[in-house]
Structure 1
Amino acid sequence: MTSSDLPPVRDIPFTDAEGAEHTLADFDGPVLVVNVASKCGLAPQYEQLEELQRTYGDRGFAVVGFPCNQFMGQEPGSMEQILEYCSTTWGVTFPVNDKLKVNGPNAHPLYKALKKTKDGRGKAGRVAWNFEKFLVGRDGSVTRFRPQQKPDDPEIVAAIEASLA
């Protein structure tokens, strides 16, 4: 499947941590898709992501995490280890799905579609690092935020609130 053959981003299937297939359309509202890694220096963003989930979840918003081991091997564990780390270290309640690749020829189709989106500086393409964020609206629109931009950044919060309006 080439990137031009991809279905709408909300309809691209992915696998959850238990092996069941889902799409972003399974969520009622906007979704913040994040490639996560437990051993990354940006891992404290889990706490802010969870806060977004708790703040906006009752309005249909969801954070959806995808572990990825492509950046300096910073997500080497099994799914059981990853889920345990997320829940005990950061209190994560949002869905953390099966590991996937975000870059390269074996990138997951969801990320092949998301990477077409330009960031605030007009740059599309490869995911730069762990904790890159993509806000996918109910209508399938995508807004991209780079890894260093924290989940509680006013620009991200404003985008989430606008997507809920």
Structure 2
Amino acid sequence: TKWSFVATLLYGNYVDPSIFRYDGRWWMFGETDPKGNDTLRLYYADDLIGPWIEHPESPIIEGDANIARPGGRVLVFDGLIVRYTQDDDPTYGNQVRAFEITELTTLSYEEKEVPENPILKTSGTGWNSDGMHHIDAHQIDENKWIACVDGYKGSFGFGF
């Protein structure tokens, strides 16, 4: 299979966009302040290749690195919509938190933090000793789920 360019969905700088389908529309979250990781915008479209329209309540999050940067694909399951977020305070990829989206229309948006937060966090040892910042959950059977996650260990550096 050969990949080919189809369309530019949005112009600008976006970090960790999360695209999902809900209620007959495409929705996209994108973090737009990569230096602060603290501004989350929301867009919607009737067609995947656009045009994409910024939601009237966007930015959904502004000035909060604890909950703005997407931390995985939005989960839509059995009437529930869950947005995952990287908690980048005090450091990048500190942990992953989840928010239930309780209202999502082209005019309104509401969410509430799930009480089980954080759902992923650093372990202090091993492959995820310094951070956890992404989750992608998949239902593989009627009562069985699997989640792909990532983490990191060590510091970033440059060497020869």
User: Do they fold alike, i.e. is TM over 0.5?
Assistant: no
Mark the structure with the bigger radius of gyration: 2
More strand by share: 2
**TM (normalized to structure 2)?**
0.29
